[in-house]
Amino acid sequence: MQAEDKEYPARQTRADQAEESERLEAIAMTGRGIAHDINNLMETVLGNVALLRGDLNDDHPRVATLEAIEKAAELAGNLTQRILAVTQGAERKPEPVNLNSIVYHLLLVEETRLAPSVRIVRHIDPDLWRVLAEHTAIAQVALNLATNAVDALNGKGRVTIRTRNVVLDHGSIPEGSGLRPGAYVLLSVEDDGEGMSPLTLAKAYDPGFTTRDGHHGQGLATVQKIVARYKGHVQINSFVGKGTACRVYLPAIDSAKAPRPAPSMSVPAGEETVLVVDDERMILEVTAETLRRLGYRTLTARNGQEAVDVARSHDGPIHLVLLDMSMPVMGGADAFPRIKAIRPESRFIVCTGFEQELISSHLLEAGGVDSFLLKPFRLSALAHEIRKVLDKADAA
């Protein structure tokens, strides 16, 4: 008889944990690669739209179509940043968030799967104030509430999702919420399902509590934790046979109440020499062509080593370098100090699709980089940023 290996369960657990860790890292690497490729594609889309837009008068009927394409490309870029935030396992900094964009896309896939037995209705306030929060976390709040509402219907019924602005005073603050008087954004998710008894409702926020097989019971507990993080409040009303209404109050940010200034339609031009460095041929060509149309002299390089060679061999000034970070042969992080040593008078704008890379970049910490742009960006935004950096250099 073989002796029992008492250490085997522990070793197996460690092996399983290591395997899971490697699997998650592989998923993260894949996600980062996909996000990088999507950012580059969207940057190409935005660049070509800018070129087409420059050939049309403001009253041309196709201008609205081009603006819609621009908006879609920018939204795709925002989505890739959320993918990166998840794959990096890091929470992004709070930012102004409009819940309407979340509610609009919420359960679009579920609607196709559940229709026509389940109807999902949205009522959104077009002038909704924004909240200061992390987009992915607020999206999780909305998704958890909507998923719970759908589950409560048992395959048939209606879910209503609403957003609206509310101003609470001492008389209208929900009892026991701890909220202060002021402006709030209200997200409500209602279903006409079976409802909950008072006993069940009292346990709704308990981690692990669930009345449904196959569910882990973390939905409302997670919602409450996230909402509390942003100084908000969750209120649930439910009655057996009548359904459930979940309301989330989040503080509105004051700046959202003020009218937003209209963006400037003019695109600044210039005559300086700009070195554009990017490994994506389409991005390189579109960016260089746009800058040439604006009056700039352009030089191009497909990687960091080519950029160093151009900086060394070009007979004349290089006023600005647009430097991509992720490139073969030599990346932007390695190319920057080499180009800076050759061209100490040059200004630098770093362009990348990886926000976390920029936040932690030693280039920014050490100084010498004048600005950065997160891909994808409109070429009009690039033109403004170039002018700002060069004009600041002239004033120095």
What proportion of the chain, given as a percentage, has pLDDT over 70?
Answer: 72
What gap in Å lies between CA 122 and CA 77, rounded to an integer?
Answer: 25
**Structure tokens given for 369:** 């980089």
What per-residue confidence (pLDDT) applies to 10? 60
Confidence of residue 340 (pLDDT cuts 50, 70, 90): very high
Strands (E), the chain: 95-97, 118-123, 131-133, 157-168, 182-191, 233-239, 243-251, 273-277, 297-301, 320-324, 347-352, 371-374
By three-state DSSP, how is residue 300 classified? strand
Residues 6+ apart with CB under 8 A from 310: 275, 299, 301, 318
Output 318 or 262, whichever has higher pLDDT: 318
Of 42-56, 99-113, 309-323, 335-349, the one with minimum mean pLDDT is 99-113
Model pLDDT for residues 108-136, shown as the tens digit of each residue: 655 666 656 778 888 888 888 999 998 77
52-75 average pLDDT score: 74
What per-residue confidence (pLDDT) applies to 345? 94
Of 28-37, 175-184, 282-291, the one with minimum mean pLDDT is 28-37
The DSSP call for residue 375 is: S
What per-residue confidence (pLDDT) applies to 151? 84
Q: Is the pLDDT of residue 255 over 90?
A: no
193-207 average pLDDT score: 78
What per-residue confidence (pLDDT) applies to 217? 41
Query: CA-based angle 154:158:161, to the nearest 5?
Result: 120
What gap in Å lies between CA 356 and CA 20, rounded to an integer?
Answer: 24
Q: Is the pLDDT of residue 89 over 60?
A: no
312-333 average pLDDT score: 92
Residues 6+ apart with CB under 8 A from 255: 96, 130
What proportion of the chain, given as a percentage, has pLDDT over 90?
Answer: 28
Q: What is the largest CA-CA distance in the chain?
A: 89
Confidence of residue 356 (pLDDT cuts 50, 70, 90): very low
Give phi and psi for 122, each to the nearest 5. -120, 135
By three-state DSSP, how is residue 251 classified? strand
Going by C-alpha positions, the residue among 294, 343, 291, 347 that lies closest to residue 320 is: 347
289-313 average pLDDT score: 95
| Mean pLDDT, rounded, of the chain | 79
**Structure tokens given for 44:** 């190409």
Confidence of residue 256 (pLDDT cuts 50, 70, 90): very low
What gap in Å lies between CA 247 and CA 123, rounded to an integer?
Answer: 14
What gap in Å lies between CA 99 and CA 125, rounded to an integer?
Answer: 10
Q: Is the pLDDT of residue 259 over 60?
A: no
What per-residue confidence (pLDDT) applies to 45? 80
List b or e across 184-204, with b for residues whose CB sees 16 or more CB atoms inside 10 angstroms. bbbbbbbbbbbbbeeeebeeb
Of 66-75, 212-221, 362-371, the one with minimum mean pLDDT is 212-221
By three-state DSSP, how is residue 17 classified? helix
Confidence of residue 27 (pLDDT cuts 50, 70, 90): low
Q: ω before 268 within 30° of 0 (cis)? A: no
Of 70-79, 81-90, 165-174, the one with minimum mean pLDDT is 81-90
- Confirm whether pTM is higher than 0.85: no
Contact by Cβ (8 Å): 355, 81 = yes
Q: ω before 126 within 30° of 0 (cis)? A: no
Parallel/antiparallel/unpaired status of strands 157-168 and 182-191: antiparallel
Contact by Cβ (8 Å): 195, 239 = yes
What per-residue confidence (pLDDT) applies to 171? 87
What per-residue confidence (pLDDT) applies to 202? 78
Count CA atoms within 13 Å of residue 90 on its CB side: 11
Contact by Cβ (8 Å): 244, 237 = yes
